[in-house]
Amino acid sequence: MTRPSHGKDLDWLRSLSHLPILLKGIVRADDATRAVEAGVSGIIVSNHGGRQLDGAPATLEALPGVVQAAAGRCEVFMDGGVRWGDDVFKALALGARAVLVGRPVLWGLAAAGQAGVADVLRLLSGELSRTMALAGCATIADIDRTMVAPG
């Protein structure tokens, strides 16, 4: 089956703005390759909360294949499934440049407004720092795949 090309859509979007284009919803390596070939600045690995399709792969499971397909030609971010600092650590170790944390931030906002958002971000940061320390990582740059995946 041939998958549709979205080059025309991206060309149209580029005609509206010179901002970098990040393409969200990529969970397959072949889609990542197509996105890179279309010239996107970044890919957001996302299954949209897994609500769209039963059995959709978890973003953390899809991430390594997308990172490999992107092969450094664009940034790769991960969205979904990030609830704790060690989730951030795992995503970084598997090649994500950064993670998106929309749902936890919304929970903090609903619970305590701006202070709740600050608390969520502080908790994530503290958990990530603790995980890094336990793994022997002084900086984000010290995190690598061998810390979460054999070989």
Give the pair of three-digit tokens for residue 96.
Answer: 């994500």
| Distance from C-alpha of 102 to C-alpha of 82, rounded to nearest angstrom | 9
For 126, other C-beta atoms within 10 Å of its C-beta total 11
Q: Is 48 labeled as catalytic in the residue annotation?
A: yes
Give the pair of three-digit tokens for residue 85.
Answer: 């600092």
| Distance from C-alpha of 45 to C-alpha of 50, rounded to nearest angstrom | 12
For 11, other C-beta atoms within 10 Å of its C-beta total 11
| Distance from C-alpha of 58 to C-alpha of 56, rounded to nearest angstrom | 6
Catalytic annotation, pick one of 6, 48, 103, 145? 48
Picking from 9, 60, 20, the residue whose alpha carbon sits closest to that of residue 43 is: 20
Catalytic residues: 48
